[in-house]
């Protein structure tokens, strides 16, 4: 018996939906085995996770709260992944956005007209995230330095910088030792709809529209897609890859920066621990599960947001570490990756008898 893979001419449409769904189910199953082996009842754990993330109005709103930064960072990394520029630095770009927005809220607010506070925070966060992304982007564009490693190292640096600021010079002097800055003035609060859902959700939808428009209706988007599909062909047709890297990373980092601003100004309303909880890394999963489609990212971010909230819930209700959520995310991605072969190839099992049949195995 032999398994043969025949390349499909077009990606199977059905598989775009089915592969993530089946991956999700298989990940839950393997997660159950892992939980069982550590003496945790998986049925109980999953019930708590689902109830805690989808089971009530409050649960749903919390899931949406977690989904907002995942949408923004997921959209950000998706556009860089489109051209095979591996921006793993959304976490750091988010952190820098949070720092910039906090700086405006804490130190510039008193010099600004109230109506200008949020826009100033917004623009500074975009700039900070974009500039943080621009460093590895220019290193790649000019010298060809491996962007996976530089964007990652920039994460560690940014996270340490956040910690330094809220534990050091920016620490609230009247906080009785609270590890964080003073609360932001009200003018620096992002308006909320209901629960903790804030206006960041609108920003995320606008961002998805923007990315969709750029990719499908502009020359820039066309170039980005060509680079992603065939860098060599892109170079021959005179596309400036370096310039595209810089532009894409400004956009990608800027979106992560907005996520950082939304977190500090919409949720915590101060700079404190809990800003960098791994949204930037989960963004990679979100983008990939959605096949880099901007609308898909909005949907998947919501589902993975549920996994995040569910993880917190089992920590509270069952004293089981919330890291289960991360294990599940990794497992989903594994199965999704393994499943991609079914969308790109037709898999056929050839029995021993047919081995001599020359038609069974096409040669390229």
Partner 1 sequence: MDNAFIVSILIITIRAGTSLLYATLGEIFTERAGILNLGVEGIMIMGAATSFSTAYYTNNPWLGLIAAIIVCGFLGLIHAFLTITLRADQVVSGLAMTIFGTGLASFMGQRLGPRGTTLIGLQGPSFDRFPFPLLNHLPILGPSFFNQDILVYILYLLIPILWFFLYKTRPGLKLRAVGENPRASDSMGIDVAKSRYQYTILGAVLIGIAGSHLSLGYLQGWAENITGGRGWIAIALVIFATWNPLRAVLGALLFGGINAIQFRMQAAGTTIPASFLNMMPYIFTILVLVIITWWEAFRKRIGAPSALGLPYVREEKD
Residues of the shown chain interacting with partner 1 in the complex, contacts defined by CB under 8 A: 5, 7, 34, 38-39, 86, 88, 139, 143-146, 148-150, 152-154, 156-157, 160-161, 163-164, 167-168, 281-282, 284-285, 288, 319-321, 323-331, 333-334, 337-338, 340-341, 344-345, 361-364
Q: Is 113 left (phi over 0), alpha (psi -120 to 50) or beta?
A: beta
31 versus 266: smaller Cβ distance to partner 1:
31
Bridge partners (DSSP) of residue 2 are 350
Handedness of CA 159, 163, 169, 175 (dihedral sign): positive
CB 169, CB 284: distance < 8 Å: no
Min CB(259)–partner 1 separation in Å? 18
183 versus 321: smaller Cβ distance to partner 1:
321
CA distance 130 to 212: 19
The closest alpha carbon to 78, from 280, 239, 271, 315, belongs to 280
90 versus 215: smaller Cβ distance to partner 1:
90
Pairs from 166-172 (Cβ < 8 Å, separation ≥ 24)? 166/271, 166/272, 166/273, 170/102, 170/106, 170/271, 172/270
H or E stretch covering 302: helix 294-318
Tell how far CA 118 is from the center of its chain: 24
108 versus 361: smaller Cβ distance to partner 1:
361
Beta strands per DSSP E along 172-247? none
185 versus 339: smaller Cβ distance to partner 1:
339
CB 61, CB 196: distance < 8 Å: yes
30 versus 187: smaller Cβ distance to partner 1:
30
User: What Cα–Cα distance (Å) separates residue 339 from each residue in 18, 235, 287?
Assistant: 9, 31, 16
46 versus 122: smaller Cβ distance to partner 1:
46
14 versus 84: smaller Cβ distance to partner 1:
84
CB 63, CB 306: distance < 8 Å: yes
Min CB(149)–partner 1 separation in Å? 5
Q: In sequence order, what are the residues at sequence separation of 6 or more whose Cβ sits closer than 8 angstroms to the Cβ of residue 203? A: 72, 258, 262
Min CB(337)–partner 1 separation in Å? 4
Min CB(283)–partner 1 separation in Å? 11
Min CB(209)–partner 1 separation in Å? 26
CB 168, CB 181: distance < 8 Å: no
Min CB(182)–partner 1 separation in Å? 20
Min CB(202)–partner 1 separation in Å? 29
CB 198, CB 285: distance < 8 Å: no
Min CB(47)–partner 1 separation in Å? 19
266 versus 306: smaller Cβ distance to partner 1:
306
Min CB(87)–partner 1 separation in Å? 12
């Amino acid at each position: 018996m032999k398994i043969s893979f025949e390349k499909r001419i077009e990606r199977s449409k059905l598989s775009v939906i089915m592969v993530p769904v089946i991956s999700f189910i298989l990940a839950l199953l393997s997660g159950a085995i892992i939980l069982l082996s550590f003496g945790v009842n998986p049925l109980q754990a999953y019930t708590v996770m689902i109830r805690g993330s989808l089971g009530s109005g409050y649960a749903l709103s919390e899931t949406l709260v977690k989904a907002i930064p995942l949408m923004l960072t997921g959209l950000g990394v998706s556009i860089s992944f489109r051209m095979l520029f591996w921006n793993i630095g959304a976490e750091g770009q988010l952190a820098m956005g949070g720092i910039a927005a906090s700086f405006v809220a804490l130190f510039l607010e008193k010099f600004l007209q109230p109506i200008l506070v949020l826009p100033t925070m917004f623009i500074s966060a975009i700039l900070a995230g974009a500039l943080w992304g621009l460093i590895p982007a220019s290193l790649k564009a000019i010298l060809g330095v491996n962007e996976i490693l530089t964007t990652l190292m920039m994460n560690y640096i940014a996270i340490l910088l956040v910690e330094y600021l809220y534990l050091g010079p920016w620490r609230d002097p009247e906080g009785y030792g609270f590890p964080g800055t003073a609360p932001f003035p009200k003018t620096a609060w992002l308006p909320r709809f209901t629960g903790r859902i804030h206006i960041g959700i609108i920003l995320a939808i606008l961002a998805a529209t923007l990315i969709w428009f750029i990719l499908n209706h502009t020359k820039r988007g066309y170039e980005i897609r060509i680079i992603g599909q065939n860098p060599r062909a892109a170079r021959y047709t005179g596309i400036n890859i370096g310039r595209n890297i810089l532009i894409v990373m400004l956009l990608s980092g800027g979106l992560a920066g907005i996520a950082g601003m939304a977190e500090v100004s919409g949720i915590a309303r101060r700079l404190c621990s809990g800003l960098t909880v791994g949204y930037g890394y989960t963004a990679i999963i979100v983008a990939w599960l959605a096949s880099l489609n901007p609308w898909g990212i909005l949907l998947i971010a919501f589902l993975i947001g549920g996994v995040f909230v569910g993880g917190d819930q089992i920590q509270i209700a069952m004293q089981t570490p919330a890291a289960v959520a991360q294990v599940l995310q990794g497992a989903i991605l594994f199965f999704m990756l393994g499943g991609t072969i079914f969308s790109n190839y037709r898999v056929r099992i050839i029995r021993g008898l047919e081995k001599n049949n020359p038609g069974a195995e096409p040669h390229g």
